[in-house]
């Protein structure tokens, strides 16, 4: 089976969809029945600025130059991992598309308004033209079927596989943490959040909840990730706290730094308003880190009984109480750590790649 992966420049960014695409490619390459075809977009589009102009040029290229590539490469399936699908197709080529979430519908205020409109348009077109639709979770699959009134046979769950974070020696961990201490004033113990620092992640509620904890004086809150939409709200929330030095913004961290933070954190908090999957949950579970999370469908699907939940994502008092509960109870911590390590195994790439293979096969059978 000849599979062409097209990710819309995401691999070069090294995060999110790019890591997803690269990891999927690595896993498929280990299966002898697949021939992977990796054909990047032309450099003149890749280097185009501003990004809006690049998006327009890329969309035009998908309808023209990309179709010529398909004619030369003759793939059985083109998998668009970043939801942008052309209107044109070669007759013998099937289209698969991944829809990671429906934020533009479920939580449009978490995106710039123009970008939300763009995503709604792109996903609507993808749903129309794709032969098989892959969703990161059962939760997103159900949302896509309901939103677009689709036949469930055309929409498949294909979990976002998680590669293991690098094994970092204790000595290296201590060295990395000393660097964070020198740079940010970080010290243990600390509560950890990992992800883009954006409105959808509900970090302002986490900041306010942290200030209400009875154990707050013993802890720091580490927010690890790049700034996103709404980051100024996060900065303002920190400035208004009585002890802003207890909040550590690391920015983007490397895999080694991330592994060190997970390994040394007291617990992990994921208070998102909406998720399509939640890779940091899998990373935290894999390392045996106790989790407190908002009770939303995707997080419950991923973390299951390996997390302690609170019901209303915006209820800062409830979140503070849950963090206090887990931080103060070593038996809860031990139980969550054990459950997490066991549950994380199901999301390893070698255990989820079959979902993708089955979806590819189904699209060919239904040709």
What residue segments make up the domains of the chain, in order of their start?
Answer: 2-161+348-365, 170-347
CA-to-CA distance for 289 and 316, rounded, in angstroms? 22
- Whole-model pTM: value is 0.93
> Residue 11: what are its φ and ψ, rounded to 5°?
-60, -40
User: In Å, what is the CA distance from 223 to each residue of 101, 231, 247?
Assistant: 23, 12, 8
At 198-227, the pLDDT tens digits run 999 999 999 999 999 987 788 999 999 999
In 3D, which of 346, 162, 349 has the Cα closest to residue 262? 162
What is the rounded average pLDDT for all residues in the chain?
A: 91
Q: Which CATH class is domain 170-347?
A: alpha beta
- Give, in words, the CATH class of 2-161+348-365: alpha beta
What pLDDT was estimated at residue 42? Answer: 72
CB burial of residue 21 (10 Å; 0-12, 13-18, 19+): buried
Query: pLDDT band for position 9 (50/70/90)?
Result: low
pLDDT tens, position by position, 54-104: 888 888 888 888 898 898 899 999 999 988 899 888 778 999 999 999 999
On the question of a common fold for 2-161+348-365 and 170-347, the answer reads yes
How much is the pLDDT for 351?
94
């Amino acid at each position: 089976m000849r599979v062409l992966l097209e990710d819309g420049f995401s691999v070069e960014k090294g995060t999110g969809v790019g890591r997803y695409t690269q990891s999927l490619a690595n896993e498929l390459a280990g299966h002898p029945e697949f021939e992977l075809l990796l054909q990047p977009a032309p450099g003149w589009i890749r280097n185009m600025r501003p990004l809006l102009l690049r998006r327009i040029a890329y969309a035009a290229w998908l309808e023209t130059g990309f179709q010529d590539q398909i004619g030369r490469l003759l793939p059985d399936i083109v998998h668009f991992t970043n939801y942008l699908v052309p209107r044109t197709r070669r007759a013998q080529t099937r289209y698969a598309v991944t829809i990671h979430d429906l934020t533009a519908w479920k939580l449009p205020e978490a995106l710039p308004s123009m970008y939300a409109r763009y995503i709604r348009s792109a996903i609507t077109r993808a749903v129309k033209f794709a032969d098989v639709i892959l969703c990161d979770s059962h939760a997103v699959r159900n949302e896509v079927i309901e939103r677009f009134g689709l036949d469930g046979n055309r929409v498949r769950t294909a979990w976002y596989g998680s590669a293991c974070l690098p094994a970092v020696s204790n000595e290296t961990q201590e060295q990395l943490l000393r660097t964070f201490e020198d740079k940010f004033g970080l010290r243990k113990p600390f509560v950890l959040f990992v992800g883009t620092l954006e409105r959808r992640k509900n970090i302002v509620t986490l900041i306010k909840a942290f200030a209400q904890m009875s154990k707050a004086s013993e802890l720091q809150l580490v927010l690890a990730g790049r700034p996103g939409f709404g980051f100024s709200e996060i900065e303002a929330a920190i400035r208004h706290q009585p002890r802003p030095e207890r909040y550590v913004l690391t920015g983007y961290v490397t895999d080694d730094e991330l592994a060190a933070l997970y390994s040394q954190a007291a617990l992990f908090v994921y208070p998102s308003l909406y998720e399509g999957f939640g890779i940091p949950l899998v990373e935290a579970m894999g390392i045996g880190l106790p989790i407190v999370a908002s009770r939303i469908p995707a997080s419950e699907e991923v973390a299951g009984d390996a997390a302690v939940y609170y019901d209303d994502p915006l209820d800062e008092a409830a979140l503070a109480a849950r963090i206090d509960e887990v931080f103060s109870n070593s038996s809860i911590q031990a139980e969550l750590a054990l459950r997490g390590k066991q549950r994380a195994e199901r999301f390893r790439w070698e255990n989820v790649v079959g979902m993708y293979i089955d979806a590819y096969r189904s699209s060919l059978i239904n040709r």
